[in-house]
């Protein structure tokens, strides 16, 4: 999960740096792919949190997912 977040942050930073230099962002199709991957991962994690029998752990899992 961290690698997906890292990838998103890296791409957004690269895009901002290139925009500041009036340069074109290479491979802009990567951003929607990363967003879609993150969405899918969050969906699976949310399903797991809902199925967690321990309500405290379930709530903690949901908080972690929402922070992403």
Q: Is the pLDDT of residue 61 over 80?
A: yes
Domain locations in the chain as residue ranges: 2-67
pLDDT at 48: 96
pLDDT on residue 27? 86
**Under 8 Å between Cβ of 41 and 1:** yes
End-to-end alpha carbon distance in the chain: 9
Q: For 52, left (φ over 0), alpha (ψ -120 to 50), or beta?
A: beta
> What's this model's pTM, rounded to 2 decimal places?
0.68
> What are the pLDDT digits (tens) for 5-36?
788 888 889 989 999 999 998 888 888 988 89
Give the whole-number percent of the chain exceeding pLDDT 70.
Answer: 94
State the SS3 of 31-54.
Answer: HHHHHHHHHHHHHHHHHHHHHCCC
On average, the pLDDT of the chain sits at 88
Residue pair 33/8 in contact (Cβ under 8 Å)? The answer is no
């Amino acid at each position: 999960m961290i690698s997906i977040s890292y990838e998103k942050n890296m791409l957004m930073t690269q895009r901002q740096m290139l925009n500041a230099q009036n340069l074109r962002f290479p491979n802009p199709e990567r951003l929607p792919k990363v967003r879609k991957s993150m969405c899918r991962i969050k969906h699976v994690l949310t399903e797991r949190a809902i199925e967690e029998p321990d309500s405290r752990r379930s709530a903690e899992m949901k908080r972690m997912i929402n922070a992403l």
